[in-house]
Amino acid sequence: MAEKVTIATVARHARVSRQTVSNVLNAPHIVRQETRQRVEDAIHALGYRANQAARQMRTGRSRLIAARIDPTRDGINGSVLDRFLHGLTETADAAGYRVLLYTATDDDREIATYGDLLGTYELDAFVLVGTKHGDPRTEWLADRNVPFVTFGRPWDALDAHPWVDVDGAAGTAGATRHLLDAGHRRIAFIGWPVGSGVGDDRRSGWRDALHAAGVDPTGLHRETEDGIAEGERLMRDLLVAATPTAVVCASDSLALGALQAIRGVDPPVSVIGFDDTPVAAAVGLTSVSQPLGEAAARCVDLLTGVLDGDHETPTPVLLQPSLALRHTA
């Protein structure tokens, strides 16, 4: 078993004091070039790595970021989180942070977990995926001055915390324009019940795009909980009640249901989903694609900004989605 390499070992090896080694690591500019080189050589030769626990004890910073991993809900949109987490881990790593996972079944438990993570692990920050109206979690964190970013804008606009989001309205608007350009006029929308921030946002893009083109959207939209079966049901309803020639959906799940409903219908009805999930790619569904890797990267940017003592409130980031064209539209 090799001797443990500490900052003192490096100091002895480089014939300097512990503090100088520490300075080389944390404030290289105040160390003379020659000394710095000698210390860096020693660090390299000995394979020294700063012990995070000891550092944390002095500084109170853990260089750890927490993110929640959900049970895959409907199984389709789960992969969005998957891709986001991957991007988060990668970017955080590059910035010198690590990602810690946690789970929670409801808001109360999640908040209890915050307390635990902050108390025992001294987490530096949280990344929350998804926010809702009157989210108690953001309030709790903000009250305690815990740094955090949300992937998903704050729908209440009460408190301004750093956030990154993808412009859902722009996504559905783009999808709708794509259909308009293809000559469609009766373009329907299947979305989520009014009151969900994300759902309302996505619906507004569709509506605005139609208005801008001088098309009346009346009677062409339906709302429901997310799910394949629901998508199928509402699409069947739309087919008889409104005879659309195309439909934009708030999720790939709904779009997949719609696809099943239009099987065999002639002329074929165009379908566009949202999220560009693996399922969409698999079945050839055109879908609005979110730049998840970039979203994760911007989350880390915002956090490091806050953590590294940037006192001004960082500017929120709104990213533009793109349309992944496949054969359903």
Partner DNA sequence: TCCAGAAACTTGAACGATCCAATCCTGCCT
Partner DNA sequence: AGGCAGGATTGGATCGTTCAAGTTTCTGGA
Rounded Cα distance between 198 and 153, Å, is 9
DSSP readout, 198-230? HHHHHHHHHHHHHHHTT---TT-EEE--SSHHH
Query: Which listed option, DNA, a second copy, none, makes contact with residue 25 (CB within 5 to 8 Å by class)?
Result: DNA
Cβ-contact 276, 255 below 8 angstroms: no
Establish if 62 lies at the interface with a second copy (CB under 8 A).
Answer: yes
Q: Which residues pair with 271 in a beta bridge?
A: 247
Name the minimum Å distance from CB 307 to DNA: 14
Query: Which listed option, DNA, a second copy, none, makes contact with residue 98 (CB within 5 to 8 Å by class)?
Result: a second copy
Closest CA to 321 of 284, 279, 274, 256: 274
Establish if 186 lies at the interface with a second copy (CB under 8 A).
Answer: no
Name the minimum Å distance from CB 276 to a second copy: 9
Complex with DNA: residue 14 or 262, whichever CB lies closer: 14
Residue ranges in 235-294 that form contacts with a second copy under rule CB under 8 A: 253, 256, 277-279, 281-283
Query: Which listed option, DNA, a second copy, none, makes contact with residue 243 (CB within 5 to 8 Å by class)?
Result: none
The residue from 13, 36, 38, 83 that contacts a second copy (CB under 8 A) is 83
**How far apart, in Å, are the Cα atoms of 280 and each of 4, 144, 196, 272?**
52, 41, 23, 9
Exposed / middle / buried, residue 46 (Cβ in 10 Å: 0-12, 13-18, 19+): middle
Complex with a second copy: residue 62 or 304, whichever CB lies closer: 62
Closest CA to 46 of 16, 8, 19: 8
Query: Which listed option, DNA, a second copy, none, makes contact with residue 19 (CB within 5 to 8 Å by class)?
Result: DNA
- Return residues touching DNA (CB under 7 A): 4, 6-8, 15-23, 25-26, 30-32, 34-36, 48-51, 54-55, 57-59
Tokens in use for 279?
């399922």
The residue from 31, 39, 76, 198 that contacts a second copy (CB under 8 A) is 76
Complex with a second copy: residue 37 or 59, whichever CB lies closer: 59
Complex with a second copy: residue 122 or 294, whichever CB lies closer: 122
Rounded Cα distance between 92 and 214, Å, is 46
Name the minimum Å distance from CB 33 to a second copy: 26
Complex with a second copy: residue 76 or 187, whichever CB lies closer: 76
Q: Return all residues near 215 (Cβ < 8 A) that are at least 6 apart.
A: 180, 185, 187
Cβ-contact 129, 81 below 8 angstroms: yes
- Binding segment (CB under 8 A) for a second copy, from list 25-33, 63-71, 135-143, 235-243: 63-71
Euclidean distance between the first and the last CA atom of the chain, given in angstroms as a whole number = 63
Establish if 99 lies at the interface with a second copy (CB under 8 A).
Answer: yes
Cβ-contact 107, 319 below 8 angstroms: no
In degrees, to the nearest 5, what angle opens at C-alpha 247 toward C-alphas 242 and 250?
Answer: 120
Rounded Cα distance between 221 and 235, Å, is 10
Establish if 316 lies at the interface with a second copy (CB under 8 A).
Answer: no
Complex with a second copy: residue 69 or 318, whichever CB lies closer: 69
Binding site for a second copy (CB under 8 A): 47, 49-54, 56-57, 62, 64, 69-72, 74-76, 78-79, 81-83, 85-86, 89-90, 93, 98-103, 115-116, 119-122, 228, 253, 256, 277-279, 281-283
